[in-house]
């Protein structure tokens, strides 16, 4: 089992070894809003009531998405 970084410096050091292609299996990554809407719909159908999103785009400001209401 890997140890958990204990400081920001440790975290930064650990991140230096992560390749962009390593992220795909752990984080939802897409520039297409339709992908995110589909993923959020899946989350709602699984019963999640709250989902927190983090936009890390360096090229576009955050934009609003219209999400379908779930029953």
- Residue 52 is predicted with a pLDDT of 86
* Paired tokens of 26: 């752990």
pLDDT digits (tens, 9 = 90+) for 11-63: 788 888 888 888 888 888 888 889 999 999 999 999 998 888 888 777 665 55
**pLDDT in the model for residue 45:** 95
Cα-based distances in Å from 19 to 14, 23, 25, 48, 71:
11, 7, 12, 30, 39
DSSP state of 70: -
Predicted TM-score (pTM) above 0.75: no
């Amino acid at each position: 089992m890997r140890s958990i970084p204990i400081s920001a410096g440790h975290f930064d050091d650990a991140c230096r070894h992560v390749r962009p292609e390593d992220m795909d299996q752990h984080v939802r990554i897409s520039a297409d809003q339709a992908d995110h809407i589909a993923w959020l719909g899946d989350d709602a159908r699984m019963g999640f009531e709250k989902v927190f999103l983090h936009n890390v785009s360096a090229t576009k400001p955050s934009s609003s998405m219209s999400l379908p209401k779930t029953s």
